[in-house]
Amino acid sequence: MDVVGSAQSPFSLQRQIQVWGAAQIRASISYPLMPTKQAAPWRAFLALANMGSVFSIGDPLNQSPQHVGATGGTVSGSGQTGFFLSTSSSNLTPGDWIQIGLRLYLVTSVAGGYLGIWPQIRESPASGSSLIITNTTGLFRLMKNQRKIGVSVENGRNWALDFEIEEAI
């Protein structure tokens, strides 16, 4: 989610856009039918998760960079803010995830060790902070105090799970 305002003139139909420079990772998570034994830990987790609780989770489909020779490296320089980060990383590609501290960022562009990232830097990392590039996670919470846990009794007892999360800021 990006924070962008838009207003259209009813007379000229021209549109004014205000980009506020803020963004937040949100996700809808759906698991297909799974057996009770596999669903049990998720059901227990979802019983305790709510909008007030914060948990760490990552992208299970992208647990490592696309390029096998990618290195995370470190942050180069302190006081960095915004949607760009100077690092000593190499071979990262757009679409890779990086983690700095407890925060998760998507790499959007690469120019040497200079990375475009989304969302913007949450807390300015210290120079020399490590970039984690495998099994990355970030801090999230449920978007609503609702989660769907369905059960199918056809061919045994199978469970389906659906829930929505947002980055905990």
Domain locations in the chain as residue ranges: 59-136
Task: Yes or no: say if 104 and 137 are a contact pair by the CB < 8 Å rule.
Answer: yes
Structure-derived torsion over alpha carbons of residues 75, 94, 102, 140, reported in degrees to the nearest 10: 160
Q: Where are the beta strands (DSSP E) in the chain?
A: 2-8, 15-23, 26-35, 55-57, 84-86, 97-100, 103-111, 114-118, 138-142, 148-152, 158-167
Is the domain defined by 59-136 classed in CATH 2.40.30.290?
Answer: yes
Distance CA 43, CA 84 (A): 38
What pLDDT does residue 85 have? Answer: 95
Task: Yes or no: say if 165 and 143 are a contact pair by the CB < 8 Å rule.
Answer: yes
- pLDDT tens track of the chain, all 169 residues? 777 778 888 888 888 878 777 788 899 988 888 888 998 998 898 888 888 899 999 998 899 999 999 998 999 999 999 999 999 998 999 999 999 999 999 999 999 889 999 999 999 999 999 999 999 999 999 998 878 877 776 666 788 888 999 999 8
Q: Give the DSSP H or E segment for 58.
A: none
Overall pTM > 0.85 = no
